Structure formats: C-alpha cells, structure tokens
Amino acid sequence: MLNADDLLALGPLLALLAATVLTLLLVAVRRSHGLAAGTAAVGLLACLALLPGAARLAPRDVDGLLLLDPAGLFYLGLISLAALATCLMAYAYLERFDGRREEFYVLLLAATLGAGSVVLSDHFAAFFLGLELMSVSLFALIAYPAARQRPLEAGIKYLILAGLSSALLAFGIALIYYDSGSLQFSGFGACFGARPMGATGQAWLLLAGNALLLAGLGFKLSLVPFHLWAPDVYEGAPAPAAGFLATVSKGAIAAMLVRYAGETQLHDQPAMIVLLELAAILSIAAGNLLALLQDNLKRLLAYSSIAHLGYLLVAVIAGGTLGAEAVAYYLLAYFAMNLGAFGVIAALSSGRRDGEGEADRLEDYRGLFWHKPLLAGILTVNLLSLAGIPLTIGFIGKFYLFASGVGAARWLLVAALVAGSIVGLFYYLRVVIVLFARQPAAPAPGIAGNGAAWASALTLSFLALTLVWLGLYPEPAMELIRSVHAPFYRTEVSRLRLRPPPLRPSLRM
C-alpha cells in the first residue's frame, strides 16, 4: 500500500529504523564503542539529511496512520538533533564506563524512532506504538548502569509508573474509540468539536476518555499532579539519559498534544481546557517552589522542567497559529538549554566510579569557574537562559509564550508565567553564584575526570553558542517555525490522500 513517494516521505523514519537495526547487528558482530556511537550518529545525520526531501512532499497522509506535515517534520528534526547531541555527549560519558557500552546507542536510536513516530502520528495506534517504543527504551536507558543501585531504582520506578500511565492512556483511548468509532485524530475530531457538551447521554464517555488521555500525557510531561516521579528518576538516571528523557520524550509528547488539540478542536471543550489550565498553573507553582532550595542539580533541573512544561502549556492552551509557533520555539529553546545543562553534568560525572554517584550535588560545583572555566561558562549560559534573561534564547522563547498567552487573553496563565519566572530567577542564580564562589571545593576527586573529551566539549560549546546566537538573532529560527506552521491550523487544508479515506462506522449519537 506504500508507494515510492511514501517511501521518500518516510525516509527520515526509515533511516532511524535502519540505523537501529544496523547498530544492533554491529554490536552482535563486533563490540566497539566508537563504531556503535559512530553508526548511531551517522544514522541520525542520515535522518536529518532526508528531512528536506520529505518536507518537499509534505503535507502527506501515510496510510491514515502518520501525517507528515511540515510541523511534524520540524519536530522530528529537533528530536534527531537532540538525540545526536545526546549521542555525542554519551560517548564521552561512557568511555570510562565499566560495563558494556554499545547497547546504549541501540536504545537511544529506538527511543528516537519512537519519539519520531509520536510526533508524526495521526492515529492512536501509531501514537501508542511509538510511545511504548520510546518508553521501553527509556526504562533501559535510565537503568543502563544496572550494577549501580540508584539508576536501577530509578529505572524500576519509571517502569512501574509509566506502566500505570500507559494503562490510563489505553483506557482513555478505548473510551474515545467507543464513543467516536475512530482511532484517527482527524477522523473523530470534527464531531468532537461540534458535540454539545454534556447534552447527550454519551458525551461524557468522550470527555472521560479525553481526561484520561490528558492524565496519561500529563504523566509523560511530568505535569502536576503527575509529577512526583520526575526528580527521583532524573536523579538516578545517568546524566545523558536524563537529558534525553527531559527533552526528547517530553518534547515529543508536547508536540503530539499540540497536534491532537488542533486536529480534534480540543479548544471547543471548555472542560478539557480547564484541566490543562489547572495542570499548567499547578506545574508552574509546584515546580518552581520545589526547585527553590534544592541542593541537587539534577533534581533542581527536574523541578525546573516541571515548571517549564507548565510554561509551555500556556501556549498550548492559547492555541492558534501563534500558540503553535510559540510551542515550537519554546521547545527549541528548552531542548538546547536542558541538553546543555545535563551535558555539563555528564561531562563532570564521566570519570566517576561505582558508588560515587554522579557530580550532581551543588557542593560539587562550588567555584567550578576557577578550575574549569569552559564548563562553568556553558552551564552559566544555560542557567541564565533557563531563567529567561534577555539576549538568550530562553528570553525569546518565554516572550513568545507570553505573547501567545496575551493574544488569547489568558490573563491568569500569563500571571502565573510571570510569577513563576520571578521565583525561578532565584534558584537559577543561586547555582550561578555557587559556580563563581571564591573558595573552590578543592578540585574534588570525582570532578577531575575526562570532562574535556572533545566530542562532548564541542557539542556543549555549540549548544551554548546556539543559545546566545538565537537570543541575539532569533529571526532565522522564527522564520523556519513560521513557515512550517503556516498551513497547519487552517481547517480547509486539503490533505493529499493516496487512497480514499477508510470507511468509518457511523457515529452513534
């Protein structure tokens, strides 16, 4: 049922798939860390290289399962870039790792593939498959140093809780299917929007299904009240995996949520918007408050990511083209900032042995600037950007969110965004002050590791430069995001179909 154009359009995903399989086979034939990392990097580069070709054919509906539109391909590119950065940073991190190192890349590629199909999915089947592929790979990535206690604990926690959330998701999807008779987002969207809420006997099933769906997604996005797992898992996971978890898995779900909301006209359902609003405000408040006096950098970043996802929801709720653009820009910023921050932790932790844990206590960073100026400088830029200081990408991203919130007259959310940013300033700057403290914590034994591995240093420098460059001159990125979002939200967009849409069972009203 696929033709040549479909294959070309699917090229990026197929490249990821091929890379996954190839890496897996290579590991079986010959164990070589460099080879595995190289294959993974080449596969991700191939995926990126095929994106423009796929974009030329977009928007394209592949067999009802995937919708290859420019925005989805943009997110795929973002995810691949993040995976590439993770891959390069993990290379330095794992170089001194005692156990087997090669499988990390297989899992990374598989998770990326899953995330890719999540952002492109137009059908619950594709979405759920992609999500599970991503989650299962993440369990293993989190617990990768399985001989150590904390990663193992974190992995098991994530396994159990993610299983719970998947159950919620599946149940929600089932309810939606029961009511609408369709698993395709666009398939049941129109009727969902037109339904008078609560007036008919069964609309509540649809509502309950969507509420469960949002709960499941909320877990993956670590929104309050589904956020409790995040700090423990972040703390236990090896730093590159934690960075990947914070960016790719959350970013993919957020992108999917925007698409889902757009296609199903979720904004016409006040109840769902109230739920999202609640989650956003609670996340901003709780995330920032929890991070306030945190002494562990990884936990701090986990809490801050809860807050940042809350900020992001402001634009999701605002909706419209501006909202979608704001989400895209903010995710771009969020990816760069968090990858950089976790990358620095990874670089500092790479020399550590079992039992030492990672370099994540704030104490480990005291006076870092005076013996590792590059890493401290990069971390400073990342933290300032997370705090949303002007001339960094974080400021532009936050401004975008702000503009979309104001445009949609969501004043409560905008107020929460502003208040949260003020609290956030405190704990980000607290870390910056520690970095520049005059009494260095005598170049601690663990920190003296091989943090200068060039791949990692280069990636981190590139990320930090991107942060500043896109903060000073954000126009190219904005231009790109505007162009990929141009046709996305127009309801009259004519979708290129290869075959007539499948017959749907008539809707029971």
Q: Which residues sit at the interface with another protein, rule CB under 8 A?
A: 156-157, 160-161, 164-165, 168, 204, 207-208, 210-212, 214-215, 218-219, 225-226, 228-229, 231-232, 270-272, 274-275, 278, 286, 289-290, 292-293, 322, 326, 396, 399-400, 403-404, 406-407, 423, 472-475, 478
By C-beta, is 76 or 291 nearer to another protein?
Answer: 291
Please, are residues 413 and 317 in contact by the beta-carbon 8 Å criterion? yes
Tell me how far apart the alpha carbons of residues 5 and 314 are, in angstroms, rounded to a whole number. 37
| CB nearer another protein, residue 52 or residue 476 | 476
CA 477 vs CA 273, 331, 339, 389: distances in Å: 29, 12, 18, 19
Please tell me what DSSP assigns to residue 350. Answer: T
Handedness of CA 437, 441, 442, 443 (dihedral sign): negative
Please, which residues have CB within 8 angstroms of residue 227's CB and are 6 or more apart in sequence?
283, 286, 287, 306
Task: CB nearer to another protein: give 50 or 143.
Answer: 143
Best CA proximity match to 251, nearest among 74, 92, 405, 126 = 74
CA 415 centroid distance within chain: 25
In angstroms and rounded to an integer, the radius of gyration of the C-alpha atoms of the chain is 22
Kindly state the DSSP code that residue 390 receives in the 8-state scheme.
Answer: T
Minimum distance of another protein from residue 289's CB (angstroms): 5
Q: Do the Cβ atoms of 65 and 3 come closer than 8 Å?
A: no
**Which amino acid, residue 379?**
L
Query: What would the DSSP string read from start to end of 408-456?
Result: TT-HHHHHHHHHHHHHHHHHHHHHHHHHT-SS--TT-GGGGSSTT-HHH
Cβ closest to another protein, residue 25 vs residue 472: 472
- In the block, residue with structure tokens 């820009």: 329
Q: How far is the CB of 126 from another protein (least distance, A)?
A: 24
> CB 294 → another protein: shortest distance, Å?
9
Q: Closest distance between another protein and the C-beta of residue 462, in Å?
A: 20
Q: How many residues does the chain have?
A: 509
Q: How far is the CB of 505 from another protein (least distance, A)?
A: 24
Residue 206 and residue 267: Cα distance in Å, rounded? 14
Q: CB 267 → another protein: shortest distance, Å?
A: 15
Rounded to whole angstroms, the Cα distance separating 137 from 129 reads 12
Q: Output the 3-class SS for 195-212.
A: CCCCCCCCHHHHHHHHHH
Q: How far is the CB of 420 from another protein (least distance, A)?
A: 12
Q: Closer to another protein by CB, 47 or 168: give it.
A: 168
Asked whether the beta carbons of 147 and 354 are under 8 A apart, the reply is yes
Q: How far is the CB of 266 from another protein (least distance, A)?
A: 11
Tokens standing for residue 500: 């007539």
User: What are the start-end ranges of the E strands in 47-109?
Assistant: 60-62, 66-68
- Specify the residue, 57 or 282, whose C-beta has the smaller distance to another protein: 282
What does the alpha-carbon distance between residue 276 and residue 287 come to, in Å, rounded to a whole number? Answer: 16
C-alpha–C-alpha distance, residues 188 and 177, integer Å: 9
Nearer to another protein by C-beta: 120 or 326? 326
Nearer to another protein, 226 or 311 (CB): 226
Output the smallest distance, CB 225 to another protein, in A.
4
In the complex, minimum distance from the CB of residue 17 to another protein, in angstroms, rounded to a whole number? 32
Nearer to another protein, 33 or 361 (CB): 361
Shortest separation between residue 157's beta carbon and another protein, angstroms? 5
Nearer Cβ to another protein, position 23 or 304?
Answer: 304
Closest approach, Cβ 425 to another protein, in A, equals: 12
Closest to another protein by CB, 114 or 474 = 474
Taking the least distance from each CB to another protein, the nearer of 259 and 398 is 398
Tell me if residue 357 falls in helix, strand or coil.
Answer: coil
Residues in Cβ contact with 326 at an 8 Å cutoff, skipping those fewer than 6 apart: 315, 318, 397, 400, 401, 403, 404
